[in-house]
Amino acid sequence: MNQRTVQSEGVNAKITREANGQVTIVGQMTKFAGAAQQIRWIAAQKPQRGIGFNGSGLPYHNADQAFDGTPFKGTIASPDGSFTIVLETLPSAYYTGLGSVYVPPVVILESLSNGPEKNSYRTHLFLSPVGVPYRWTAGAPPGPRAEPRVDQVGRAMFYNGREELGLFQNQEALLRYRGYPADEASQRLPDRIDSNPWVNTPSPA
């Protein structure tokens, strides 16, 4: 089991991921704290699992794809702004801005006050800084470095340095050697991107 506490504008929450991958979010909408309210929420579909490794776990190309037909949505009648959301697994990441902005797993919440003025607000609760690690289609998400070095260009430099490794049989073998540990995949909330992802990668036997 892995836990994380997250604070965002208008919402505080504790996120727990169980050994079976289930995610539980226990939170409090803070803008109308103590007041009765309707909380609507939605998250992207779960990550895609293809036949092969190469097509599995990739972010959706845009928000329309990510949210189309998602089972991760609902409405909560909260007496005081508190809520509990249970997800089968982490939602998938997706892109916005014509594929230029990586959006990690997020739950979008909208709260409508039941008071006479019927005020509402919307906020985003990011469950993890990254979705399935090392899986993207338009370059890596921003890593630990604030900006690339002089000899590097853009976010796609995740692959920089792989030419110095021994001969790989194929692209799938290359990606499998950079897969993250199975226990982290099933139990932990992903929380980092390596700054030098290939430094300890062995050549295939």
Q: With bands split at pLDDT 50, 70 and 90, how would you rate the model's confidence at 113? A: confident
Residue 109 sits in a domain whose CATH number is 2.60.40
Look at the pTM and tell me if it is higher than 0.95: no
Does any domain span residue 107? yes
Report pLDDT digits (tens) over 161-197. 666 666 655 666 666 666 655 555 556 677 666 656 6
The count of structural domains within the chain is 1
Q: What is the pLDDT of residue 118?
A: 75
Does any domain span residue 13? yes
Does any domain span residue 203? no
List residues bridging with 107 in a β-sheet. 43, 125
The SS3 of residue 176 is helix
Does any domain span residue 27? yes
Higher-scoring residue by pLDDT: 2, 55? 2
Q: With bands split at pLDDT 50, 70 and 90, how would you rate the model's confidence at 42? A: very high
Q: What is the C-alpha separation between 161 and 21, in angstroms, rounded?
A: 33
Q: What is the C-alpha separation between 136 and 140, in angstroms, rounded?
A: 6
Q: What is the pLDDT of residue 97?
A: 83
Cβ-count burial 47-66 (b if 16+ within 10 Å, e if not): beeeeeeeeebbbbebeebb
Does any domain span residue 151? no
Does any domain span residue 119? yes
What single string gives the DSSP state of each residue in 58-120?
PPBSSHHHHHTT-S-EEEEEESSSEEEEEESSPPPPEEETTTTEEE-SEEEEEEEE-STT--E
Tell me how far CA of residue 74 lies from CA of 14, 41, 135, 138, in angstroms: 19, 6, 28, 31
Does any domain span residue 160? no
77 is in which domain, residue-wise?
2-126
Report pLDDT digits (tens) over 80-108. 999 999 999 999 999 988 877 889 899 99
Alpha carbon 73 to its chain centroid, in Å, reads 16
Does any domain span residue 47? yes
